[in-house]
Every structure is written in C-alpha cells, then in structure tokens.
Structure 1
Amino acid sequence: MRADTGHWLERFFDGDNGLRWSALQDPTHPWSPQLLPWIALAKADDRDLPIILPRLEADDRPSWYCAGRSARGALRLHEALQAFIGPSYSDFDGRPYPLNADDPVEAAFAEDTVAPAYRIRASTPGDVRRIQRALELYCGLLERMPEQVRHGRRPLGALRAELDRAVAAGDEAEAGRLLEKIRGIGRLDAENLLYVHVGVRAGLGQWRELAEDGALLNQLIGLRLPPRVLADIHDALYRRYVEPSEDADAPEYALAAFRAAGLARRSTLFGSRRGLRGARVLKAFFLYELAREDQASTGLADLADELEGLDDTFAHALATLGRPTEASPPADPMDVADAAFDDLEIDRALDLYVQAPPSRKRLSRLIRCAEDVGTAEATKRVIDAIQPGDDAGNLPPSWAARLQALLEKCTADEDTRAPKGWLEWARRVEAGMGEDEAMSALREHMATWDPAELSGSKVQADELTGIINNASASAEPVFREAAPLLYQALIPESGAPPRRVKPLLQILVTKVAFLADPSQTELELARDMASTLLLIGLDAKEYEDLITDLEDLMGTQMSVFTLGWSLDLAELFAINPCPDPERRLRLVLRVTEAVRRLAHRLSPADAMVIEQLCRDYGIDCPAEIGQVETGRIDGAADALSGKSVGIYTLVEPAGQRAAALLYQICPTVRVELNSDHECTKALSHLARSADLFVFAWKSSKHQAFYCVKDHRDANNPMIQAQGKGTSSILRALLEFV
C-alpha cells in the first residue's frame, strides 16, 4: 500500500462531498456497507484494480467517480461499467469524464488514478439503489478475482500489445484510446509516435485519411522511415490515387493517374524500397521509374521481373510498359549517381555507383547507400562491389569503422542479423530471444517478409505451427503478443486464406482460450479467427475443438462482460455449415442460459435477436426474454413506417437477419443491403436515397465508408453500428429512431 493513499482519500471525502471520511469509518453509516470494500481495494497493492467512489451533491444526489490505476485496469474498468451499469438506469454512455483540476474533490481523485475517468449518475432517484447493487456485485467479483501472475512487462510493451489486438479486431475507438495512453506515458519521442499513428491508421484500413493528410506526409519527408511505415504510406497513396485506374487491358491509365496525382514529385518516398515486396509498393516504384524523364533501364527491368512474379494480372500488364531494350550507360556514371544521391534516390544511386569507376568517393557513397537502405542484400552488394581502386585500406578512421561494420553485418551469423521471415523469427524466439527484442524485430521487419512464406508452403506453415504449439514458458507470451500481427499476415484482402494455414489459426484461437482474463479486443480477435476457420471449412473433430476453445472463453471470470460477444458467436455458428449439430446446440444453450440470468440488462434489440436464434435452433426461448421492455420497439415501428433503410456490412447473413427483424417490427419498411468493397454505383445510390443508413464499421472496408459518407446528406448522417452481428445493427438503428 502506498503511504499517501489515505491522504488523497481523506481529501476526496471532504469539501463539498456530502460524505465524510471520518463518518464512513463507522460501519453503521448508511453508505459504509457499499463503500468500505471499495476503499479497501483502493488501498490494495494491485494497481490493476479500479477505484469507484461516490460523491454526494448538495441535493443528496450521488455521483460515482470511476477510474483505473493502470492502463490495464482502465481497459478492464470500461468493459465492466458497460456490463454492470450501462445506460439502463444511468447516464453512462462510455465517454470519458474530464476531471476538473480546480475542483478539490476531483483533483484528489486524479492523484492516484489514470485517464480516462468516468462519472456515473442515476437516471432517476429509484435507480440509485440499482447502481449500488450492481457495484456491490462488481466489487465482490474483484475481491474474488485471483491475483494475476506478473511477467515484468513494461507499460509501453503492454500497451503496444493491446494496441495490436485492438487494430486486428477493427476496434477504432479502443485503438484511439490506447494510442492516447501511449502518448501520455511519454516513453516515445514525436517521431516514433508518428510511426505508431501511421501503423494504426493503416491497420484500420484508413487509407484515404492517410493519403490525404498532407500535414502528416510533410512530417514524414526527410525521415528514414522504417520499412513497415514506408509500406503503409505507399499502400495508402496507391490505393487512393492509382488503384481505381487499374486496367489490365490499358495499363497506361494507371501511369496517367500516377502522374496526375503528383506522386512523381514525392521523390523522397521513392528513395529506397528498403527490401519491401508488397504488390502495391512494387507497382508504385515501377510507375515512379516510368514517370521519370531519365528512366533507368536496369531499375525498370528488375522491377518488371518482380512484377511478373506476382499473382496479379494487372502487375503483369504493367510490366510490359517498361522499355524493351537496354539503354546505353551514362557517359559519366559518377555524375549521374551523385545527382541521384543528392536527390535522396538511394536505390538508384546505389545501382549507378556500382557501375561507376572505382574511387575513394565512390566507396564512401556506397557505404552511405548501404547504411540508408539497411538490408542485408544491399550490404552484400556494396561489399562485393569494392575494387582495389577504391583505396579501402587508406580510408579515414571514421569511414574505416563504418566499412568494418558493414563487413561484420555481411558475415554475421543468423542470430545477430535481422530475421528474414516469420519462421526464422519464431525459431529465434523459441531459442531465447527476449520479449521486447522479438516484438521490436517483428514490427520493424515484417513488412519486408515474403507474404507467400506461410500461405505458399505447407512445410513452413506446419513448422511454424509446431513451434507456437510447443512454445516454452519464455516464448509463450511473445507468441501471444504476436498473434494479432500473425493473423493479419495470414488473411488475404479478399477471400479465405489457403487451407494449409488452418492448423496455425486453430493454435492461435487456442492460445486466446487459455487466457485467464481476455480483454474485449482479444475476444473479438478470437471471434474473427473462428469466422475465418468456419469459412475455410472444418471437419467434425476440428469443429468440436473450436467450440471447446470458445466455451472456455465463455467460462472465464470475465464472461459477465461478454453477452454481446456471445450472441454474435451463437449467430456466427447459426449462419455457417455445421458438421456437429449436437455440439453446436450445447454452445447455444450455454449462451441462452447466460442470457436468462442477465435478462434485466438486455436491450429490446438483444431480445429480438435471442428470439430469432432460438427459432433457428428449434429451442424454447427463456421466459425472461418476454419480460424485456418493448416500448422502444413500438415507437420504432411508427418511426420506420414507409421509410427506406440501407444496411452496409460485409457479414451479409447478419445484414439479412437484421432486415428480417426490421420487417417483423414494421412490415412497411423497405430494407436494402450492400456489401461492395469499393464505391460502386449501387452503393453510392443507396447512400443518397436511403432515409436511414446503418454502417457496420467493424465489418467494412474504409473505401465503402468514404463512399457512404460522401453521398449522405450532411443533415442525415450514417448510423454506425458498433459490432458485426445482427444485434449491433438493430440496436444502433433502434436507438437512433
């Protein structure tokens, strides 16, 4: 216990707080039974336990102040408040409450807590007791919660891991909160915060925002961007300005779009490819070379070879635009190389310096190029290019040291150089690579790894699966942290991944199932992986194992927070092929039992979805569901009468089920669904014409988001559903109307 804990508590229960510290020590005080257990938790050494304390206003109306004492505790608290309190009988809507430093009571509360804080007030005087009872239940749960095993994690590493999971789950709001926490702890400088910001936007698919953020792009100019950041920026620019013009029958349209967007003028972004192999990066660099007035035939030929190696019809067509014949070498390669070097076109300068006559200046520039590119391939190329005329033996000491560093890098063993792929990285983790070093190497270098390494080779995928499945105690937490990044690497932009990666996905789900306290983002990640596995296809044994893992997640101590997640999960199994109906039914019965116990917290939308699920499975609906208040449904029927509703979701069955329930509420409503990935005529027309438009943003493409946003009337914006299932779509619409 911290020595000053009592001091700030005394100041909180003072001033204009109608509750007094001295009076609360008396167990007979009306507030003591509810409050003393929370005070005991506030004095505990476990910083992950939250603090919830009441303040009695002058009119005897209580307000509860809620906050965590650590980043992890704050995340748990937000989920708990939604589960135990929610908007049913309070004003809690999930938004943080800014504590006032000039208010002595709020200032005292801020002393031992971290942002965000929340303030809760009862909707009616009769709801005060309901909130007290809910908080008693929550406090009891915290008191019974076993102490968590600590692994000596630094706060920044823990937050980065949470951020990766939030991005992989598509949770934009949670990612934003975590990004602010990372900014707040002050461990990253402005440049590295910028890189994290770019990665979050890219991971969430906010390509248009990245491409059109001129201030951000200007900040990146002149920086030696990490490969992953460079890949994200090129992806964003290509998607926004060039990809809409891709046409395998007329590849010159893409070149015209590249020029029209002014991308050829952003030469600093094309200085070095840094070993990146992504299709959009290759196409962008090829177009940049084509757009140059002084095209480099060697660079074009090399890029054309790489384009032809892609499984991309347009890339093959684009490669034909390169000059068919070799251009003659420049009269003075050194002058041309110097010009390229001064323009920060490092890859091109390296090509030219290799061709230039030997000299000490040439060697110094080759060293600089190898350092800037940073790949093992560039380093080896420079070492191999050294000639006697470069006078390497008489370099000044500082340059000799830099050359020696390159020689050592070139001859380094596998344990000291950067890993070249997922499998090599996993082997090093299992061999003892530290957690921070492993995650740093992963985030920095994974953009340069061959995306086909896992999906294209069953042998490699099986070996990686075996390493993760049999991980040692030291490697286990690393693979857990890496799971979101690995999952993103396995999933193609369209369609299902190849069946050979199925065992790897199964292991990742099992890893999440073994967690003692899964966060909401980890649960969402498990649901997404389960959805992918069902899309690939499972036999009866694999299906049973998947359900067992998910039931383990439902049975964790945090299951009280996961009602909406459980409903989405039951729906997921209802709309996918089932090789074991009995096993699936047991899962659904487990969900309905949880629903029965929590019926008093259900929204009308949840109740309708549960009734729909019970009809799907041919089981009796819990009697408690019929007691859910339906006034909002009756009002929605009047509001929807004769209206048209557009629903955008990539989970088409969820949209269809939501439409069926809307017709049940109001037979005269008109519902149209859309799941187009791009801004098609159908999507833009629906966005313009629909009276109401629901956008399920967690199961969407941001290209579609911008299409809908651009075509909606400013006075009639889209309604954003917070989840992927039917209940989220229906709840968002009913709350709006």
Structure 2
Amino acid sequence: MNTILKEFFRSGNDINPYVIPAELQVLIERWAEAIARGQIGFLPRSTGDRLLWYAFAPTARQRRELLDTLDGWIGPTFSDLDIRRGELSPNDPFDQSLARLDVRPIRFEVLPRAKPESSHSRDYVRNSLIVLGRMIENRPPSEFGAPRATVEVLDDLAHAIASQDRRLAMECLDELSVTADMDFTNLAFLRLRTFAGVGDWNALLADEDLMHVVRMRRPLGITRAIQHAVYASYLGDHVGSGNASDLRKAAEMHLGQYVSLATDIPASNGSEAIVEFLLAEISGEPSETLDQLVDQACSIEPKLGTLLAHVKAAVEPVKSESEFTEKGARPDSLLPLQQAAMRFLDGEYVAAAKITLQCPPSLQAARLLLQAARSANDLSIAEQVSGYIETNSLRSAIVRADENLQRDLAWLDDRAKPAEPTDWLAWFDSLSDNSAINHSVSAEARDGWQLLDYSVISRVLNGASDEVLGRLGEWGGQFMAAHRDVILASNGVDLVERVLAGLALSAKRSRGVQAQTLALLDDLTAATVGGSWPDDALIWCGEIATNNAAAISASWCVDLLQLGTSLVGAGTVAKQDFFFAVVNSVRQFKSALSLTDLEALGVVAEELNLELPSDFATVIDEDADPGAEYRHLRGQKVVLYSLTESAITRAAQVLRRLVPDLEVDTTTEHDGSPRLAAQAAGADVFVVVVASAKHAATNFIKDRRGHKPTILINSRGSSAILDALRAA
C-alpha cells in the first residue's frame, strides 16, 4: 500500500482499505497512485454517520477547474458543495494536516445523511466519481502539453529568447532533451546558444559541458557565444574603465583556458574584437597580427582600438627565432598542406581553407577542407570546397573513408544546397511559397547570415500579404530572436503591429506565441505611440487571445488584457473592444482564473468604465479573501523594477487593491541613478523584471540590497510578479 493510503486511512477515517470489497480496494489504490504521480484522484473518508470525499488536484488552477466540474457532476443535490465550496474544516484535526499540502484537496460531504436515502446518494456519488475519474484519466493532453515536433519546440525556444523569457526557454530545453533526436554535442550547443540568447553568461560559463565544447571543433556561433560570455564576466568592467593594465591582467588570469576560441573571422562588434585581440596577445601572436586586430577594433569603435593599442604598447610581444624552433619548423618552410593544417589548429579556418584549395587533390586535402569549411561556416568557402571535391572526383574516396568525414560531407551538401535560403532576406522571400519553405535551416547555417536592417525589415513586413504574415507567425521564432535588437532599437511601432498581425493570422497556439505577444506589447507600451497603430495592434491581440485561450493559459489572457489596456496611444473604444474580446475568450475557462486574476479583471473594468460580466462573479466565493496570500507583506515597502512600465504598473494596482496598507512603488530608472540607489536600499522587498532590465541595472540593485530579498522575474506580465510575491 503506498504512502498516500497510509496517510489518508488513519485516525479520523473509519474506512479500513483492507476489509472493503476488492473492486473498491482496486479503485482506491488506483486513485492513490494517480495522486502520488501528481494527477487528479478521489479518496473517501467515513466518520460517524457521515461520508466525505476528498478530491486531490496537483495545481491550484486544476483545483479550481475540478471544483467547477464537481459542481455540475455532483451538484448541490447530493453534496454540500454549494455551501462549503469544497473547503476543509479548520476545526477538524484530520483536515488540519491536509491543509498543509501545497494544494489543499476539495472536501465535500455526501447528502442526505439519513437512511434509506443515503444509500442511494452514496452509490450515485461513488459511481459518478468513477466515471469522472475515467474521463479525466483518458482525456487527451492539452494542446499546450501534447508532444510536439522538434521544429515546433525550437520555434518556441526562439520566441522565448526573443522575449527574454528565461523560464520558458529552460522548459523548451528540457522538452528537447527528452523528446528531440539530438546527440550530446548538439544539445550542448543548443544550451549554450540559449544561455547566450537570454544573456545568462554565468550559466553559460558554468555549463558542465563548456570545456568539452571549447576543446572540440564547433560552429562559429558557439565560439562567438562563449566569447561574449568571457567578455561579460571577465573583461567588460575593465574595458568600461579604460584601464589597459587591468584589462591585460584580467586576460592573463582568465583567458588561458579559452585560447582555442581565437578565429580569423573579422569581429562584428566590440566585445568580439576585444576577446579576439586578447586571445592573440596572450598566445604570443606577432606584432603584425595584433596591429591588424587593433585596426579591426578601431573600425568598430575608435576608443576600443585606442585601448587595445595601449595594451599592445605595454607588452609589445615579439616572437624570436627560438620560439619558432620550440614549436617546430617555421611556417614558411612547411609544405602548403602543412601550413594549412597549422592555420587550422590556430583557429584560422578561412585561411586554412584558402591555402588547401590551392593544393593538389587528395583525401588529406579533402579532410582538411571539410573540417575548415564546417568550422568557418562561411557559405562562400563551403561552395568553393564543394566545387573542389566535385571537380577532382573526391566524393567516392570520402564516402569510403571514416564516419566523421562522411558526416562532414553531408553537412557540406546540406550547407551548399542552392535551393535553401542563404540569408534572412532569402528566407523571408521563401515564405511566399509555402511548399518551398525550409523550416529546419540549421543554427550553423544561420550563423553566417547578415542581419537585416530596419529599412529592409520594414519594407518586407509592410509589403507582405496576409498569407506570408501568417507563415511568419507560424515559423518566425528564429527570425524574431535574430532581429529582436534591430526591432527594439528602431522603436518601430509599425513593425510590432505587423508581427502581431502575423501571430494572429497564423492562428498558432503555443507558449512561445504567448511569450512573444506579451513582449511585443510590452515594447509597444514603451514606444512613442501615435496614429492608429495601437488600435490595430489591439485588434490583432484580441485574435491572438482567442486563438490561445485555454484553461492553462487563462492567467496569460489576463496579463495580455492588462498590458493592452495600458497602451497610451490607443483609443478608449479600442480598449473596450479588446476587453470584451479577451473576456469572451476566457469566459469558458473562468474556473481556471485565480482570485488575483479576477481582481485584475476588476481593476481594468473599472478603469474603462465597464462592468465585469456577472457570471465571473459566481467564481468568487463570498468568504474568499483574494488578498490573503499577500498578507505577509502588510506594512512593508515593495518596489517593482522594469524598463517598461506596463506590467509593473498593473501589478502595483492589483497589490494596492489586495493589501491597502502595503506601500508599493514602481521604477524604470536606469542604473546608477540616485533615485534607484535609494529605492534599492530602502525597500523591504525589491522585484526586478529581468526580461525587461539591463544586466548592469540588476547588478547595481543587488549591490545596494545587502541581505534584503531581491526577487528576479524571468518572464513578462503581471501574473509572474504576483506569483513571485505570493511566495516571497
């Protein structure tokens, strides 16, 4: 007999599971096992002349749904559900231990008690619960929880990265590790890309497989991700201070284990330029190479080039003849293929490929070319290598060689295939022909794609048909993740509206779409809004809410409503229409709403001079206290921080309504401001919405908090803030 049975059939319960009929014993054991697995189950209790049933649910949301179901399934005819609403008795010692569970079970008594009527009612309730239990056990999983294809999970992962929702990103990674057909190495690559995408540099550098990846051949995108982590964790502060000596000392202390990260690919931003130079400098590269890297840094940002020039001047490493002797022959005395191999080992993949392309054809040359092409992940090099192999008839020799070489050839065939998109613009163009879309373009292939600028994105989005926008909404997670900074930097309200249109027209239902919608609305509230764009955005958001409404996403619908109705530039009529669109979408799932959700709906309704439909009021027990879960915050000062005001403003409104004597303040101050410093030092509880905050600001706040609690929220929306404070 499992632990659940031992704990439930104890003192206070007259039922002995050992002496009841065998069929009932099997039924009870099955329900007890379901409860132990985190599923719904029912257990009976007899005390005196009373028969009580306890319904267990794994989450508060499922408990509310189950109570709503029991209302219709058992009803007031045979129970006290309409009176006690399933609450435990605070004066019953048996119930007191159950009340300590994370989710309290629903308790109801079978009525009437007196015989002979009680015999009929007890049989009816037991049989009804058996049927209900079978229906719950056999129902298909929610669309949001059903197994998904790898490409769908990857698209949601990209949406999570684009919206900086770390929690959702980790859930997608967990799902892929269980369901996706990925080997150890690809999962490690994906994990590092995800940490980099959400800016979690500490997690990236702490990953258990990091050094294994550093020592192996890897895509350029992975190399760049690790370089950014190294820069953010070890070098960034010294670059900011402009102290060349401290920067050189930090490089000596931390970069020794990362020397293999050096490449011969030009840096695309300052952090890459800094890391590439310091890796070359501590590796003892010649002065000419360091001068080239200084020039690259100057072309990106002149002051970085000046800083690196100071580092170089302070050390001036010069290779002597003896240094070449220690490593072996001088490069210019080696055969071309040997020179190429040395370039490859030094991480100069493009240079290695170019030298090898001039060598006589051989299996050794093909091996080096394939490895260099894959490591460089450069389309032009891949095409040249493919031509070299075909022209010199090396394919058959490669096919007969080892499996690693065969895999490299398969990669080359896939990379150089002309039918696939070769850049983001070609990928977007492919959306016009649904049959031609390649939804599984690898991350390695995308690493070399140049980002589109604002003008190009604006042109293609505003010129796209509804069909193309719908396909973008269905498969555009990677596009959004790649261009997130471009869209945000542009303050492009028109771009946000078109992406929302794509998500709505796709009719896609997923956690990624939900996270992306909240992020886009959050960004829209921070933009300078004018004209009719916000009204159109609310129309699309109403459709997205209709598409994604479900019991499991009811709280998300409320979050969406709160964000949308905070749009400054939107008209009152548009906000009212949006209110009813969301309320009607969630109406059939109202039992899944928490008391806090209902309170939030009331706040929005009052603000818009509307009334919440009366059927929502029936969800609320007259004796229920929606603020009970926040009473521990009474008399304290809570500060909510985010760079966008919408979610924290709504959360503050709900908190003030739930706990009138709670002082709630909100702030969007940038790091280093005196006001933010004072708020960080003075608050009893400080909440930071990391998904909408700069890393420097988060560290600034932490440094001034001392031992006081700081809550980091990795998702957007008011419900995430309120959930965290509930457990604070």
- Into which bin does the TM-score normalised by the smaller protein fall? 0.5 to 0.7
Give the counterpart of 1:199 among 193, 197, 202: 193
Please tell me the residue identity of whatever aligns with 2:460.
E
Give the structure 2 partner of residue 122 of structure 1.
105
Give the structure 1 partner of residue 8 of structure 2.
none
Q: SS of the counterpart of 2:429?
A: helix
Q: SS of the counterpart of 1:693?
A: strand
Map residues 244-259 of structure 1 onto 2, 5 A cutoff.
244-247=237-240, 250=242, 252=244, 255-256=247-248, 258-259=250-251
Q: SS of the counterpart of 2:476?
A: helix
Deviations 1:606-657 (A, max 9, x none): 354334323432344667669765645378567422x332323233343345
Give the structure 1 partner of residue 460 of structure 2.
463
Q: SS of the counterpart of 1:124?
A: strand
Give the structure 2 partner of residue 449 of structure 1.
449
Q: Is the 8 A contact 1:646 1:694 kept in 2?
A: yes
| Distance in structure 2 (CA, Å) of the matches to 1:345 and 1:64 | 61
| Distance in structure 2 (CA, Å) of the matches to 1:237 and 1:381 | 33
- Could you tell which deviates more after superposition, 489-498 or 219-228? 489-498
| Distance in structure 2 (CA, Å) of the matches to 1:126 and 1:214 | 53
Q: Is the 8 A contact 1:544 1:583 kept in 2?
A: yes
* Residue 512, structure 1, aligned to residue 509, structure 2: no
Give the structure 2 partner of residue 492 of structure 1.
485
Query: Percent identity at matched positions?
Result: 17
Give the counterpart of 1:376 among 369, 379, 382: 379
Deviations 1:673-706 (A, max 9, x none): 4546768887677556532233334444556556
Please tell me the residue identity of whatever aligns with 1:606.
D
| Distance in structure 1 (CA, Å) of the matches to 2:54 and 2:191 | 39
Q: In 2 relative to 1, CA 709–396 (structure 1 residues): closer, same or farther, beyond 3 Å?
A: same
Unaligned runs of 5+ in 2: 1-15, 32-37, 47-51, 69-84, 89-100, 112-124, 325-329
Q: How many residue pairs are counted as aligned between the two chains?
A: 634
Give the structure 1 partner of residue 569 of structure 2.
578
* Residue 425, structure 1, aligned to residue 436, structure 2: no
The structure with higher relative contact order (CA 8 Å, sep 6+) is: 2
| Distance in structure 1 (CA, Å) of the matches to 2:670 and 2:487 | 9
Give the structure 2 partner of residue 10 of structure 1.
none
Give the structure 2 partner of residue 161 of structure 1.
155
Give the structure 2 partner of residue 100 of structure 1.
none
- Deviation, 1:591, is 4.3
Map residues 657-696 of structure 1 onto 2, 5 A cutoff.
657-659=650-652, 662=655, 669-675=662-668, 690-696=683-689
* Residue 609, structure 1, aligned to residue 600, structure 2: yes
Q: SS of the counterpart of 1:695?
A: strand
Give the counterpart of 2:332 among 319, 334, 341: 334
Map residues 513-662 of structure 1 onto 2, 5 A cutoff.
513-516=504-507, 518-536=509-527, 540-556=531-547, 558-591=549-582, 603-620=594-611, 631=625, 633=627, 636=630, 639-641=633-635, 643-659=636-652, 662=655
Map residues 167-182 of structure 1 onto 2, 5 A cutoff.
167-182=161-176
| TM norm structure 1 | 0.67
Q: Is the 8 A contact 1:603 1:628 kept in 2?
A: no
Deviations 1:582-623 (A, max 9, x none): 222221244456788877665454354334323432344667
Give the structure 2 partner of residue 289 of structure 1.
280
Deviations 1:502-521 (A, max 9, x none): 55543432232235561343
Q: In 2 relative to 1, CA 470–727 (structure 1 residues): closer, same or farther, beyond 3 Å?
A: closer
Q: Is the 8 A contact 2:669 2:676 kept in 1?
A: yes
Q: In 2 relative to 1, CA 254–686 (structure 1 residues): closer, same or farther, beyond 3 Å?
A: farther
Unaligned runs of 5+ in 1: 1-14, 36-50, 67-77, 92-117, 387-391
Q: SS of the counterpart of 2:638?
A: strand
Please tell me the residue identity of whatever aligns with 1:427.
D
| Distance in structure 1 (CA, Å) of the matches to 2:509 and 2:599 | 28
Give the counterpart of 2:418 among 410, 416, 419: 416
Aligned-residue CA RMSD (Å): 5.8
Map residues 286-365 of structure 1 onto 2, 5 A cutoff.
286-295=277-286, 297-298=288-289, 300-301=291-292, 303-304=293-294, 306-310=296-300, 314-315=303-304, 317-318=306-307, 332-334=330-332, 341-342=341-342, 345-348=345-348, 351=351
Give the structure 2 partner of residue 41 of structure 1.
none
Give the structure 2 partner of residue 71 of structure 1.
none
Give the structure 2 partner of residue 266 of structure 1.
258
- Deviation, 1:465, is 5.7
Deviations 1:273-329 (A, max 9, x none): 4x773553233213333444333525742x45554554x56546557659799x999
Deviations 1:35-68 (A, max 9, x none): 9xxxxxxxxxxxxxxx9764546877556688xx
Q: Is the 8 A contact 2:159 2:480 kept in 1?
A: no
| Distance in structure 2 (CA, Å) of the matches to 1:226 and 1:587 | 45
- Deviation, 1:220, is 0.9
| Distance in structure 2 (CA, Å) of the matches to 1:616 and 1:138 | 44
- Deviation, 1:193, is 1.3
Q: SS of the counterpart of 1:646?
A: strand
Q: Is the 8 A contact 1:65 1:119 kept in 2?
A: no
Q: In 2 relative to 1, CA 645–364 (structure 1 residues): closer, same or farther, beyond 3 Å?
A: same
Deviations 1:477-532 (A, max 9, x none): 5x445322222222228954353xx5554343223223556134322212322343
- Deviation, 1:422, is 0.4
Please tell me the residue identity of whatever aligns with 1:250.
G
